[in-house]
Amino acid sequence: MTKIRFLVVSDIHTCDEDPTTFKTPSYVSTQGAGPSGSVEPISALIKEVKREFGTVDFVVCAGDLTQQALPAGINYIASQLRLVATNLKAQNLIVINGNHDVDSRYKFNNFDPRGQLRQSLPDMPFISIPDEDISGSRVNHLEYFAEHLSMRTFGSVRIVAIDSAAFHGAGKPETPEYLHGRISPIMLRALEEKLQADNGQYDVNILLCHHHPLNNNLPGEIDSSEMDGGSALLEILDSGGFGDWFVIHGHKHRPRLRYAPGEVAPPVILSAASLSAQLADAQNRSPNQFHVVTFDLDLAKSLSFSMAGSVQSWSWVPGSGWYPASTDGLPSRAGFGFRGEPRSLATKLAATLKSVSPPRAFWEWAEVTALHPEVNALMPKSLEQVLSILENEHGLQPGRNSRQEVCQLGVPSNG
Ligand SMILES: [Fe+2]
């Protein structure tokens, strides 16, 4: 297997209201498509991913399955996520909870805030597809709810699932836990011990959590909901002793792809968008998106990168469906893996393109990436930086399509 593919959804916030009514918490509802029967995000997602890829290897959900721990919402989305994974022939469905999945307000249960979650998903976080026998997942389930993290391997893929809302509803009143995530010192130690005890070699290491381990605020935004202990978590992953890591989280509804700070092996962090929380939600200023993460093992090997691949994103147009993303949120395609200097890559690219004889008037972008495949491993802002240097310092003019993706590079006659 040279490509390993993950479908990533997050922050679904399943409600029980008519999803076509303005200002319901989510476009995903226990009412399905609603009385008007208009297009529904989950079935539309299955169709779109099937059409594009046929199958995926894993389906991942980064928490906030429902809105304010609604039992019917948890039940409904549990079956819907299984349907997604089954339809896409994924070998495993990995589901963690967010803060919204814990009934810390005791609205539906007087004494067990996680009871409904465990009842609806008795095999979470690692749900085998098809799921006739859940016995293999029960040890992980018990570990996840007792120690707040669990690890499982699937051939060359290792996945750690963390409950960053484990202490939600607890703590002293002056430091309300519901305002932020947490990975406690005991959890950090348990994670380190697990990783130390595992001598396997993995092509892909995924850490899945709900809250962001690294601040994901806009300039001037006041929000301290990030995971307490997040920096210590990232330091463990950066140590280099446990391989190279790709972190997937939700919570902020703000899609973003970046490298964590670090010294040895800074993890890649994908901040997933909300799949379906309505934009009217003040928390949710970004578009609704889902993502498909592809780890390209051949590309990484050929470039001697620790990992390389892409994050493709689709945005939701209410009443119409999913479309490859354009200007908001994550772009339709973002790369990861290239950690060099944009300037040196731009200089190398320009030299290659200008050295061809006879001179070309333009290059298709696919030709450029075929000549220098590392371009496919650039994160969005790095790609823009490379394009800017190509244009301003080397006279090469990027041409863009309607989604603002670069599709050509023009070479001026005097270039
Ligand atoms: Fe959320």
Q: What is the pLDDT of residues 358-410, one digit of tens each?
A: 888 999 999 999 999 999 999 999 999 999 999 999 999 999 998 889 999 99
Q: What is the pLDDT of residues 214-244, one digit of tens each?
A: 988 887 787 788 899 999 999 999 999 999 9
Q: What is the mean pLDDT of the chain?
A: 92
CA of 63 from ligand 1 middle (Å) equals: 7
Q: Is residue 82 part of a domain?
A: yes
Q: What is the pLDDT of residues 79-109, one digit of tens each?
A: 999 999 999 999 999 999 999 999 888 888 8
Other CB atoms within 10 A of residue 262 CB: 14
Beta bridge pairs of residue 246? 206, 268
Tokens standing for 241?
């002793």
CA of 251 from ligand 1 middle (Å) equals: 4
How far the first Cα of the chain sits from its last, in Å, is 42
294 DSSP assignment: E
273 DSSP assignment: P
Q: Tell me the whole-structure pTM to 2 decimals.
A: 0.95
**What gap in Å lies between CA 73 and CA 102, rounded to an integer?**
12
Looking at residue 348, which CATH number applies to its domain? 1.10.10
Assess whether pLDDT exceeds 60 at residue 414.
no
Tokens standing for 51?
């059409």
pLDDT value, residue 37:
74
Give me the mean pLDDT over the 178-194 stretch: 93
Q: What is the pLDDT of residues 357-366, one digit of tens each?
A: 888 899 999 9
Contact 209, 62 (CB under 8 A): yes
Ion ligand 1 residue ranges (Cβ < 5 Å): 11, 64
CA of 393 from ligand 1 middle (Å) equals: 43
Assess whether pLDDT exceeds 70 at residue 165.
yes
**DSSP symbols for 6-75:** EEEE----BBSS-TTSTT-SBS-BTTTTTTTT---HHHHHHHHHHHHHS--SEEEE-S--BSTT-HHHHH
> Among 129-143, 200-214, 327-341, whose mean pLDDT is lowest?
129-143
> Of 296, 314, 336, at which residue does a domain stop?
336
Residue with the larger pLDDT of the pair 121 and 225: 121
> Of 313, 336, 359, at which residue does a domain stop?
336
The type of residue at 16 is D
**CB-facing half-sphere around the CA of 257: CA atoms within 13 A:** 26
**What gap in Å lies between CA 330 and CA 347, rounded to an integer?**
26
Q: Are residues 100 and 229 in the same domain?
A: yes
Give the confidence band of 328 by pLDDT, cuts at 50, 70, 90: confident
CA of 262 from ligand 1 middle (Å) equals: 27
CA of 171 from ligand 1 middle (Å) equals: 21
Q: Is residue 387 part of a domain?
A: yes
Q: Is residue 148 part of a domain?
A: yes
Q: In sequence order, what E strands does 190-280 have?
A: 204-208, 245-249, 256-259, 268-271
pLDDT value, residue 279:
63
CA of 317 from ligand 1 middle (Å) equals: 19
pLDDT value, residue 38:
79
CA of 258 from ligand 1 middle (Å) equals: 20
Which percentage of the chain shows pLDDT scores above 70?
96
CA of 10 from ligand 1 middle (Å) equals: 8
pLDDT value, residue 415:
44
**Residue ranges making up the domain that contains 289:** 3-336
Q: Is residue 415 part of a domain?
A: no
Q: What is the pLDDT of residues 345-360, one digit of tens each?
A: 999 999 999 888 888 8
**What gap in Å lies between CA 191 and CA 194, rounded to an integer?**
5
The alpha-carbon radius of gyration of the chain (Å, integer) is 22
